[in-house]
Amino acid sequence: MAEQTFDLIVVGGGPGGYVAAIRAAQLKMSVALVERAELGGICLNWGCIPTKALLRASEINHTLHTLDAYGFAADNIRFDFAKVVKRSRAVAGQLSGGVKHLLKKNKITVFDGHAKLAGAGKLTVTKDGKPVADLAAKHIILATGARARVIPGIEPDGKLIWSYREAMVPTAMPKSLIVIGSGAIGAEFASFYRNMGAEVTLVEVMDRILPVEDAEISAFVQKAFEKQGMKILVNAKVQGVRKEGDALTAIIETAKGVTEIKADRLISAVGIVGNVEDLGLEGTKVEVERTHVKIDAMGRTGEPGVYAIGDLTGAPWLAHKASHEGVMTVEAIAGLHPHAMDALNIPGCTYCRPQVASVGLTEAAAKTAGHEVRVGRFPFIGNGKAIAMGEPEGFVKTVFDAKTGELLGAHMVGPEVTEMIQGYAIARTLETTEADLMHTVFPHPTVSEAMHESVLDAYGRVIHI
């Protein structure tokens, strides 16, 4: 078959790949995108978006069971779990179709298949073992993402042991559930199923849940989860699973000894591995370390003309990081000299109940880095809008360099904090100091006022607590 030539080929149509392709098209490049599964990638189809649809349903279920606090009453509250799942899939489908439209609008040629490097500037595309196309380009961006890490002996079987995929499309609501791993994915699934009525046990090998978050945030979320009736085991490791008909028993090693917990289902959420297999990296100068491709500040690999972005390149494993890398790498290819990305300016969000959001250094990390710090805190119980909403639990924590006033980090737990963290992300990007934040007028009444008060608290000027 005749070889087709483009200025740029992007391998992978997730939030890194399709955004890179669109930005390249805006810069007048001829662009091809190769995707072997669904446009939008894991995030849109099996991650970020459909999980938020599920979590929204669980929030509604929680609200319906707390109506009395708002002066309402309802009888026979129930839900159709199949419809809950169906809506989640419909949301994902709608957005995947939107990505297809955007690619067409930007005149990007899309190939359905698996891409593999085949020499300098060359790619082959196959589908089910059959050739689809031979492609060539001076620049190739690898954006193949990652997949769930599998624990030997606890492999997902699609029935009793679930990965995130099975957890999003169950055929029935389990009465009891064990979740291994308390990062963002594990915490969100634990929160969803608990709020839908399942008995949930959350198992974490580290000494606290949400271990990448500030220690105070982790402690607050653990207490909130336990108050909701969730059982949490930290410093714990699942040694194995014994399947028993339509249920299972997890053998868990804890500081107090080995315990066994029976449940209907188990979700494994213990991290990810990069999709580096069968990409034709052998014989190239592309370096792979612990399943992730090594890159420089502009996404370049060791192989001339080959770049990598997103989850394929390692932490933080976030869709917005992948999208930003895609734009940055394309602009570098185009000679526009973009700024290198600072990972500490990338906000992280966890959409459990209560929500968690953060950017920059934790207090402990700031001290370890040698900073003398000033720390501010403000609880939502002192915020009028949060009280009016009936969600006064949680707080905002800010960490500043005591000498320069630099905002080193911000950490939030409570109502809609995932919608507010961008304020602190902007502040860090603009290298804002405490004085700038203090002189910013926050609207009243809003939950965001707690952000202002936390800054004031760091400097002994807090008003409302």
Query: Catalytic: 444?
Result: yes
305 assigned ligand-binding residue? no
421 assigned ligand-binding residue? no
Handedness of CA 254, 260, 264, 270 (dihedral sign): positive
340 assigned ligand-binding residue? no
Distance set, CA 217 to CA 75, 119, 137, 173, 179 (Å):
36, 49, 47, 30, 20
- C-beta separation of 120 from 135 below 8 A: no
Please tell me the distance from the alpha carbon of residue 412 to that of residue 349, in angstroms, as a whole number: 10
R_g (Cα) of the chain, nearest Å = 24
First to last CA, the chain: 72
Please tell me the distance from the alpha carbon of residue 73 to that of residue 84, in angstroms, as a whole number: 22
127 assigned ligand-binding residue? no
271 assigned ligand-binding residue? yes
183 assigned ligand-binding residue? yes
Side chain identity, residue 78: R
Which tokens is 152 given? 């030997």
181 assigned ligand-binding residue? yes
SS3 of residue 77 by DSSP: coil
Instruction: Specify the residue for token string 């052998």.
Output: 282
How many C-beta atoms lie closer than 10 Å to residue 49's C-beta? Answer: 19
Side chain identity, residue 301: T
CA-based nearest residue to 424, from 458, 393, 390, 392: 458
SS3 of residue 253 by DSSP: strand
Q: Please state whether 209 falls in left (phi above 0), alpha (psi between -120 and 50) or beta.
A: beta
Which listed residue (65, 101, 339, 444) is catalytic? 444
SS3 of residue 451 by DSSP: helix
Taking the CA atoms of residue 36, residue 340, residue 425 and residue 369 in that order, the dihedral angle to the nearest 10 degrees is 120
Q: Which residues of 77-115 are buried (b: 16+ CB within 10 A; e: fewer)?
A: eeeebeebbebbeebbeebbeebbebbeeeebbbbebbb
186 assigned ligand-binding residue? yes
- Residues belonging to the binding site for NAD(+) are 181-188, 204, 271
- Which residues contribute to the annotated binding site for FAD? 52, 311
Q: Which are the catalytic amino acids?
A: 444
Binding residues: 52, 181-188, 204, 271, 311
